[in-house]
Amino acid sequence: MDKQLPVIAVLGGTGALGFGLVLRWALAGYPVVIGSRSLESAQDAAERARAILAERGVRAEVGGLTNAEAAAKGQLVAVTVPYAQQQAILSAVAPALAGKIVIDTTVPLMPPRVGTVQLPAGGSSAVAAQALLGDTVRLVSAFQNVAADKLQGLEPLDCDILVTGNDKEACTAVIELVRQAGMRGYYAGPLANAAAAEALTSVLITINRQFKCQAGIQITGIA
């Protein structure tokens, strides 16, 4: 019998980055739950995801729930909300996250100067999330350096993903989810190193502006 794949909840999966991850994980066969502040928005997004994947002949298992319900249902939980909302949303769903792998994708962009690195006190938004949630949550930081449009395009991606966290086994599980989403993921050290991936996004935004592109990163020199 096939091994049952875990349910992945994507809080903020109605948005740009989260919806791309929803599509890619559902395409890979994972049951996915989109979380939103609004049940209706979550269900609409889930219907949209199922329709996009149906066009590719895939009968995807995607549902929509409120953020709190999705956090409770997900065996792994990805958080894909703007930096300004990250702490409030995590606080609201915290009781449902104990013991789970939580993937934080947040970049601490501070408009209007989004092309300038402005990391928060404490080092990074990932470190702040771990501090808020406590050590029972297996926090992993990833996906800061991939463009949402490229994810949603569902084409093969030549973009690498830096994966950081203090729980090595949790990082390995997330690297597999990166692979299932069609990219290469690299363990890039403890959660303190999430600062590097978060900072890199402002560097990429600066490059995007010069070349009118959606730049990503690639790790070279690996045999």
Ligand X SMILES: NC(=O)c1ccc[n+]([C@@H]2O[C@H](COP(=O)([O-])OP(=O)(O)OC[C@H]3O[C@@H](n4cnc5c(N)ncnc54)[C@H](OP(=O)(O)O)[C@@H]3O)[C@@H](O)[C@H]2O)c1
Residue among 107, 117, 74, 120 nearest 93 (CA):
74
* Binding residues for ligand X, total number by CB under 6 A: 24
Q: Which residues are CB-neighbours of 135 under 8 A, at least 6 positions away?
A: none
Considering the complex, what minimum distance in angstroms separates the CB of residue 98 from ligand X?
A: 22
Residue of the chain from 10, 109, 139, 159 that contacts ligand X (CB under 6 A): 109
φ and ψ at 79, to 5 degrees?
Answer: -115, 115
Out of 124, 130, 141, 144, the residue judged to bind ligand X by CB under 6 A: 144
Which residue in the set 8, 10, 15, 52 belongs to the binding site for ligand X (CB under 6 A)? 15
**Which two three-digit tokens encode residue 125?**
């938004």
CB of 166 to ligand X, least distance (A): 20
Binding-site member from 9, 14, 52, 178 for ligand X (CB under 6 A) = 14
Residues 51-80 binding ligand X (CB under 6 A) are 80
Q: Which of 71, 97, 147, 175 binds ligand X (CB under 6 A)?
A: 147
From the CB of 152, what's the least distance to ligand X, in Å? 9
Residue 202 makes contact with ligand X by CB under 6 A? no
208 in contact with ligand X (CB under 6 A):
no
| Residues in touch with ligand X (CB under 6 A) | 12, 14-18, 36-38, 41, 80-83, 85, 105-107, 109, 143-144, 146-148
